Amino acid sequence: MNTSYSSSLANKPLTHLNLLEMKQRGEKITCLTAYDASFSALIDETGIEVILVGDSLGMVVQGHATTLPVTLDDIIYHTRCVMRSCQRALVIADLPFMTYSTPELAAQSAAQLIQLGGAQLVKFEGARIDIVAFLVKQGIAVCGHLGLLPQFIHQIGGYKVQGKACDSADKLINDALALQKAGVSLLILECVPAELARKISEQLHIPVIGIGAGADCDGQVLVVYDMLGISTGKRPSFSKNFLSETNSIEGAFKIYYNAVKQGDFPTSAHSF
Ligand code: KIV
């Protein structure tokens, strides 16, 4: 079965409610990061439902060793670039390190991503229930991010799988439920065991998008440079070079889209 994007769906902008409906009918959600207008257009034309302007741009675009140097202005600039050529995909923008240390600062930063960047949702790392509640009260749609939190890299001490021990797995489940209760519309789970991600996806009614979190999440996200094999660093083991199977970037996006829709990606080789 070829699940290629149907042109009948073209140009109708998606909202998080469409993603909720996809979860309810068991259709996998596809997401890639993008940082510029050209990639955004190609991803959007493929039918991929969500574009994330991630602070991963600090590593794959700017060449830093971590995401920590990324500024709010960087994300605003790249979100504007992405928005100029995106017709249909839902666009999420990351709140960078230290731009959401208090609920008030988070609201000011999120307002800039929405008003100046054009983002529909903002994402931040960690179980900051106070921040979610405050943002949601202002009418801001929020995406949570649990599991491996790259902005906490110096505390974690390395890019490691999270939630392997029983107590940390229980904490992740409780944090996910608390974020949902506080009002997040979506949750990204990064680098957690596939079995734990399956449990969290089943327990939450909101969509859960995984990266290195196994096949049973409601959707998948990858960093676009990793899945094209053009990142300067080592490709993470949970990612896959989709460009090696075709001779065009559009082709790689289509293969990724179909593989996620059909449950062919990720395999156990890309999971923990
Ligand atoms: O910044 C980013 O690209 C992300 C993804 C890895 C989920 O947060």
Q: Whose CA is nearest to atom 3 of ligand 1?
A: 54
CB contact at 8 A, 14 and 88? yes
Taking only the tens place, the pLDDT of each residue in 75-125 is 999 999 999 999 999 999 999 999 999 999 999 999 999 999 999 999 999
Q: Would the CB of 75 count as within 6 Å of ligand 1?
A: no
DSSP per-residue string spanning 25-37? HTPPEEEEE--SH
Nearest to 128 by CA among 178, 202, 85: 178
Read off the pTM: 0.96
Q: Quick count: other Cβ atoms within 10 Å of Cβ 191?
A: 22
Mutate-to-test residue for ligand 1 from 33, 82, 97, 228, highest number of ligand atoms within 8 A of CB:
33
CB contact at 8 A, 120 and 126? no
Q: What is the rounded average pLDDT for all residues in the chain?
A: 95
Active site residue 45: no
Helices 166-182 and 194-203: crossing angle in degrees, nearest 10, is 30
Q: Catalytic residue, from 45, 49, 125, 190: name it.
A: 190
Backbone angles phi, psi at 92, to 5 degrees: -110, 135
Q: What is the rounded distance in angstroms from the CA atom of residue 219 to the CA atom of residue 238? A: 14
Task: Give the architecture-level CATH label for domain 18-270.
Answer: Alpha-Beta Barrel (3.20)
Q: Where are the domains of the chain?
A: 18-270
Which two three-digit tokens encode residue 104?
Answer: 């008030």
pLDDT at position 235: 85
Amino acid at 252: A
